[in-house]
Structure 1
Amino acid sequence: MLKLTLTKIKKYGLLIFLCVLLLVKHLRYVLTNNMPPGPFPLPLVGNVLNIGFTDPLGSFQRIAERYGDVSTLYLGNNLCILLTGYESFKEAFVEQADIFTDRPYFPIIDKLSKGKGTDAEKQRCFALATLKYFGVGKKTLENSILQECRFLCDSIQTERGLSFNPQHLVTDAVANIICGLVFGHRFEYDDHKFHLMQEYLDDVFQLPISNWGRLYNQFPTLMSMVPGKHQTAFASMSKLKPFLQEEIIKHKEERDPEAEFTEENLIYCVVDLFGAGTETTSNTLRWALLFMVKYPEVQEKVQSEIDQVIGQIRQPLMDDRTNLPYTYAVLHEIKRFANIITFTPPRMANKDTTVGGRLISKGVMVLPLLKSILQDKNEYSTPYEFNPAHFLDENGKFLKKDNFIPFSIGKRLYPGEQLCFTFLPLEGRTLSLKGTIGVSSGPEPFQIRATR
């Protein structure tokens, strides 16, 4: 009995010794790695307790406020640099743009793309060239948007002033513009296959930022054997491919094959185009509708300006933008206040460098957080309130702000929308301004009424 007890003591003693040894090694690494300041990470799980699962965006914001614009986080065992503040963004992504070109590896992206993520640069170049050819930034795209606006307005009109959720109509309209560019045709709003495609795409796009996606990135082998929403997204990607292949077959006879650009590459390129073009735009429009209903005095001013400059006979054009300073300011304030893009895609430095005097080592993931820039107290008089005056000068002219970067550094133009309705709330209902967590943040589902 005594020998058995001594054996147990030795085993437990060895286990305790190994744990202490690992803890000391972990402490030594954390305290001597010369990285920017940040919350202390626990072994294996890192800063999971600091971030949590219910409000990761708020947690990141609080960490940035405490430790500065360049701070360190551990996502599990993976070291990560949290980057906030306009000057830090400018120093990293403009002044050192050639250094921060790489993207980190994520198992979840590799799984969804079946390893085609390595061809991302080739796909991006192809996508940009194709979009440019088919009219992005040209009148041809503007005409497609205006045409789809008519279909959207007709569908809103069929609601006859009764309550409806605008989410599907707005998403259908935006997705159809992308379909016009990618497939060469649009879909009817009641097309079952069209809605299935959007459902599959939504499953895929929401996975990387979800808790299931975060768990998969940390434990890919284990999670591949566990049921959950990640498995639903993988299945949706498989179901999406035949839909896209059917469209590719229709165009194959007229297709000019690209060197080393396979049909498989093309499928993932199309998925990327829908991801980049549909969700952010449809969420922006849904926020716009929500804010117009929530702040009727703003909606009234927008309508009044449009009536004075454009009238109610023709549709608005991009050329009208300079004559619509208040409307233009409202569109900017919608993107600022809604913080539609919670995170820009993570980057990596291709060599050791510094930002804000802090070391960023080669190969370490950099996570850019936009919220602090869009809520800068030094730039916006009421950063936590919806206030179009943030983008107007004392004469009511549109005020351009250099640090307004809702899609990160780089100019992104936003097409105007046709406001030929008055949008109203349901009687006795209070609309929430709470956003959802996703690749881009949209408002929670809401009901409104639309009257001519």
Structure 2
Amino acid sequence: MELLGMTTIFLLVCISCLLLFSSWRSVSQKGKQLPGPISLPILGNILQLNPQNLAESLKKLSKKYGPVFTIHFGPRKVVVLYGSDVVKEALIDQADDFSGRSILPLFEKLFQGTGIVTSNGETWKQLRRFALTTLRDFGMGKKSIEERIQEEAHFLVERIRKTQGRPFNPGKFLTHAVSNIICSIIFGNRFDYEDKKFLTLIELLDENNKLQDSIQTQEKGNAHSDFTIDALSRTTLDLFLAGTGTTSTTLRYGLVILQKYPEIVEKVQEEIDHVIGRDRSPCMADRSQMPYTDAVVHEIQRFIDFLPFNVPHAVIRDTKFRDYFIPKDTMVFPMLTSVLHDSKEFPNPEKFDPGHFLNANGTFKKSDCFMPFSAGKRVCAGEGLARMEIFIFLTSILQNFTLKSVVDPKNVDISPSNRALANLPRPYEVSFLPR
């Protein structure tokens, strides 16, 4: 009996070795195996990662294993791309291969692969095409949207003016202003800042449901239609959330950074006074004549590095990448932080310096490493809108107000309060003094 048991164990070991060898041979024939730290069963590499600063953990691992390596979140394998060259190579040169979307298990039940952000394949293509076409029809990218942003900037300035120079946290004001832009696009109207009941919003949501119903009537003969109520509702929510949170956070973070550097604010205001003056609203045509202000806006987005990991991608097929083999549906982290903080492109990347986007003669300098909206086929659909909002809102505020920190500028903390999945500014108060 004991001999039979030993024989069984020996056979199992042999079979396991044969399976492992077969698997290794299959992978090695398609490409090299990806390097990476040894993972533990169930736990994966969690003990080697700092959940409070995961981006820094991956940066350290990249120094050991190179620009392409694997880690495991539990049993889930993730390919990490760390470095501007490798990220651009994946998202731009092999854009189709890396155009899939993968989400962390924590969010799978919530998103269920619906909407423009988390869907894949033909569903994603149809929803993205529909969203972009509809947004353009509603005015995105046209003069009418710029006028809406200018109008909202006026309401924001007047709301700030009512604080009469008292210190306060501007987060809510900025969120309401930015949200009103996407509301005006999606729902057809902006809302008064003091409106508590949002009765109009409910009416517009009902109208939105009717529009979705009419689209689904149109599609009733298509058993595999991507335009379902759930998909369109999720897409609308994606646009609403993405069109509110990222831009308002960028503005909120930008204002705390500018408190630390009053000399930068002075230069921006000098340029505003010279190009725009005090009597009219800023517009996008002004930007080409305001290289320093444009550089400051770009540097804010580069420095804060809002989404260090990007939104996770996935390869849509078995993919060969830099002689490595990546199996279909593997989750991929194209690390935007490694692009935005590339020390070869941006000297002293941890320092806030508008000079990163200025030539020696003071003209604006473009950079292929400016990638806060990602790149390739999954680039943010609202990039143009966000750029417009950030420029017009920020210049409108600085046209009318000087920022006064409640602490000495040199003591303003511009490090993020959260480094988990997104970099968020620390809570702060600031006074807006009329100019």
TM-score range, shorter chain: 0.7 to 0.9
Change (3 A) 1:31 1:424: farther
- d(CA) in 2 for partners of 1:289, 1:272: 26
* Counterparts in 2 of 1:26 and 1:141: CA distance versus 1, 3 Å: farther
**What are the superposed Cα offsets for residues 386-445 of structure 1, whole Å, 9 maximum, x if unpaired?**
110111111100011122212222584412131221111014583211222465422111
2:306–2:422: 8 Å Cα contact kept in structure 1?
yes
- Tell me which residue corresponds to 2:401: 421
CA change 1:252–1:77 in 2 (3 A) is: closer
Q: Distance in 1 between matches of 2:162 and 2:106?
A: 41
Distance 1:316 1:26 in 2: 66
Residue by residue over 1:197-254, the C-alpha shift from the partner in whole angstroms, topping out at 9 and shown as x without a partner, is xxxxxxxxxxxxxxxxxxxxxxxxxxxxxxxxxxxxxxxxxxxxx9987533235566
User: How far does residue 181 in structure 1 lie from its aligned partner after superposition?
Assistant: 0.6
Aligned mates of 2:365, 2:408 — CA distance in 1: 36
Q: State which of 407, 410, 429 in structure 2 corresponds to 1:447.
A: 429
Match runs of 1:81-230 below 5 Å: 81-104=79-102, 106-113=104-111, 116=114, 117=119, 119-193=123-197
Deviation at 1:343, TM superposition (A): 1.9
Q: SS of the counterpart of 2:432? A: strand
2:273 maps to 1:315: no
Change (3 A) 1:437 1:168: farther
Which residue number corresponds to residue 235 of structure 1? none
Maintained 8 Å contact 1:286/1:442: no
Provide the rounded CA distance (Å) in 2 between the counterparts of 1:252 and 1:283: 29
Distance 1:188 1:439, change over 3 A: farther
Q: CA 1:252 to 1:381, structure 2 compared with 1: closer, same or farther past 3 Å?
A: closer
RMSD of aligned alpha carbons: 3.2
Q: 1:279, 1:440 within 8 Å by CA — same for their partners in 2?
A: no
The residue type equivalent to 1:53 in the other structure is: P
Structure 1 CA distance for aligned equivalents of residues 17 and 413 of structure 2: 48
Counterpart for residue 274 of structure 1: 240
What CA distance in whole angstroms lies between the structure 1 residues aligned with 2:349 and 2:19? 40
Tell me, yes or no, if the aligned pair for 2:52 and 2:420 is still in contact at 8 Å: no
Q: Structure 1 residues 385 and 30 mapped into 2: Cα distance closer, same or farther (>3 Å)? A: farther
Q: CA deviation at 1:322?
A: 0.7
Task: Map residues 324-339 of structure 1 onto 2, 5 A cutoff.
Answer: 324-339=290-305
1:434 equivalent among 404, 415, 423: 415
TM-score by length of 1: 0.78
Question: For the Cα contact (< 8 Å) 2:54–2:420, is it kept in 1?
Answer: no
Q: Distance in 2 between matches of 1:251 and 1:441?
A: 33
Q: Which runs of 5+ in 2 are unaligned?
A: 1-9, 220-224
For 1:153 and 1:27, locate their aligned partners in 2 and report how far apart those are by CA, in whole Å: 65
Give me the whole-angstrom Cα distance separating, in 2, the residues matched to 1:312 and 1:395: 27
The structure 2 residue matched to 1:296, chosen from 254, 262, 267, is 262
**2:55 equivalent in structure 1:** 57
Specify the alignment match of 1:72 in structure 2.
Answer: 70
Contact 2:103-2:312 at 8 Å conserved across structures: no
Structure 1, unpaired ranges of 5+: 1-16, 195-241
Tell me the amino acid that sits aligned with residue 304 of structure 1: E
Note closer, same or farther for the CA distance 1:100–1:114 as it changes in structure 2 (3 Å cut): closer
Distance change (3 Å), C-alpha of 1:26 and 1:109: farther
Q: Aligned in 2, Cα 1:349/1:149: closer, same or farther, shift over 3 Å?
A: same
